[in-house]
Amino acid sequence: MVRMLRGLVTLAAVVVALECCELPRRTDGRCVLFNFGDSNSDTGSLPAAYGFYLGPPAGRRFFNRTTGRWSDGRLYIDFIAENLGIRYLSPYLESSGPNFTDGVNFAVAGAAVASNQSAIPFTMATQVNQFLHFKNRTRELRPLGQGSMLPEEDFRGGVYSIDVGQNDITLAFLANLTLPEIVADGGPLAAVAAKVEEAVRALYASGARKFWVYNTGPIGCLPQTLALRQRPGDELDPAGCLARYNAAARALNANLAAACRRLADEYCGSASVVCTDMYAVKYDLFANHDQYGIERPLMACCGHGGPPYNYVNLKTCGQPTATACPEGERHVSWDGVHYTEDANAIVASKILSGDFSQPRTKLQALCK
Ligand SMILES: *[C@@H]1O[C@H](CO)[C@@H](O)[C@H](O)[C@H]1NC(C)=O
Ligand SMILES: *[C@@H]1O[C@H](CO)[C@@H](O)[C@H](O)[C@H]1NC(C)=O
Ligand SMILES: *[C@@H]1O[C@H](CO)[C@@H](O)[C@H](O)[C@H]1NC(C)=O
Ligand SMILES: *[C@@H]1O[C@H](CO)[C@@H](O)[C@H](O)[C@H]1NC(C)=O
Ligand SMILES: *[C@@H]1O[C@H](CO)[C@@H](O)[C@H](O)[C@H]1NC(C)=O
């Protein structure tokens, strides 16, 4: 009897889960993407905002010019755009010939969520405000045939992706907080998850209904972290990554997962909230690098100093004192902080598989 009841309860849970996965569909099959984040998905905000020149060898692999992307080529979000059949997203801050027909990228390199210590003022909350302004202006200008001309359906049916948190971890450690302080209830990482949840709620209030939330990657595996933040006696994990930084990332991700579940339950039936495990996607590159033809996953392609990390402060990629690895040599890390095009292609294909998402949904399906 108990077993039968348990069976019924399980069945009920499955039915509820399926109902929650029922997505609002578009009839025209069009994908529109609004993205919020940091350098991991920034397609060129710093040149637009500051006239910052991110010179060669950035872009050497694909764009053959400076685009403001922190990579030798395309970012994972560029591969996603290709897969969805849409244009690469223009940065929101780009006033010189942007094209917002297929969406807008609000992500800015250096942006933090809850920390007030970043030199970059474009926090998650500010990016959401910029979106709200963009939507208002679109409505005002549409009747005049000006502005983005995005129809209301694109705001309702668009996918809102969020990829933030990495800079908050860096800033918390730089403020000399200990790991227990960083991961504590009421600590800086809990604040990040709370602010991401706030952002989703604000976007929902504006009419957004499809959310795609990434958690944060294994920051302890980045050459910069390993080269600059490692102290005597620090523990390295089996992939050679700095354990306390990855522990902070996982703590942030536990908070984000809880926020995601809360939002998904609450919006069940009225909106989709899909959470994608970027940590697992990226950690695999370091742990199973052989499988991807990558010899030294913890060493930056472009930098200074050679093995093991090829990362020296003030001699970083783009400066005359840095050199890049031979073209064609496969690396996870481009400049010690950001991923190579090779790595970004793998990251994008795993994201697009849907296998790392909760609920297990493909972005293509959510989008359409
Ligand atoms: C960049 O240059 C390479 C080699 O010259 C060429 O194959 C490629 O199409 C160029 N890419 C773009 C986006 O222009
Ligand atoms: C913007 O992109 C769309 C879709 O690719 C294209 O149809 C349109 O002509 C572009 N607009 C401008 C001003 O380049
Ligand atoms: C930044 O945040 C910290 C911790 O929340 C706070 O103590 C500090 O006063 C804030 N600084 C500024 C300039 O707002
Ligand atoms: C957008 O317009 C609404 C009213 O139409 C207003 O309440 C809101 O403050 C505006 N938001 C921004 C960021 O301009
Ligand atoms: C953190 O500690 C280091 C080393 O003790 C010190 O140089 C640095 O000024 C401290 N930073 C802050 C923000 O207190």
Q: What is the per-residue pLDDT for 20?
A: 54
Tens of pLDDT, residues 271-330: 999 999 999 999 999 999 999 999 999 999 999 999 999 999 999 999 999 999 999 999
| Closest atom of ligand 2 relative to the 87 alpha carbon | 5
Residue type, 233: G
Residue nearest to atom 3 of ligand 2 (CA): 101
- pLDDT band, residue 28 (cuts 50/70/90): confident
- 118 labelled catalytic: no
Q: What is the reported pTM? A: 0.93
| Residue 242, strand partner residues | 236
Quote the mean pLDDT of the chain.
Answer: 93
CB within 6 Å of ligand 1 — which residues?
62-64
User: In this predicted structure, what is the pLDDT of residue 27?
Assistant: 66
Ligand showing the shortest atom-to-Cα distance for residue 139: 4
What is the fold of 27-291+344-358? Rossmann fold (3.40.50)
Q: Is residue 201 within 6 Å of ligand 2 at its C-beta? A: no
Any bridge partners for residue 159, and if so which? 33, 210
Q: How far is the CA of 65 from the centre of ligand 2 (A)?
A: 21
Question: For this structure, is 39 an active site residue?
Answer: yes
pLDDT for 9: 44
Active site annotation includes 133: no
Catalytic residue among 237, 335, 342, 357: 335
Ligand 4 atom closest to the CA of 132, numbered from 1: 13
pLDDT in tens, 91-138: 999 999 999 999 999 999 999 999 999 999 999 999 999 999 999 999
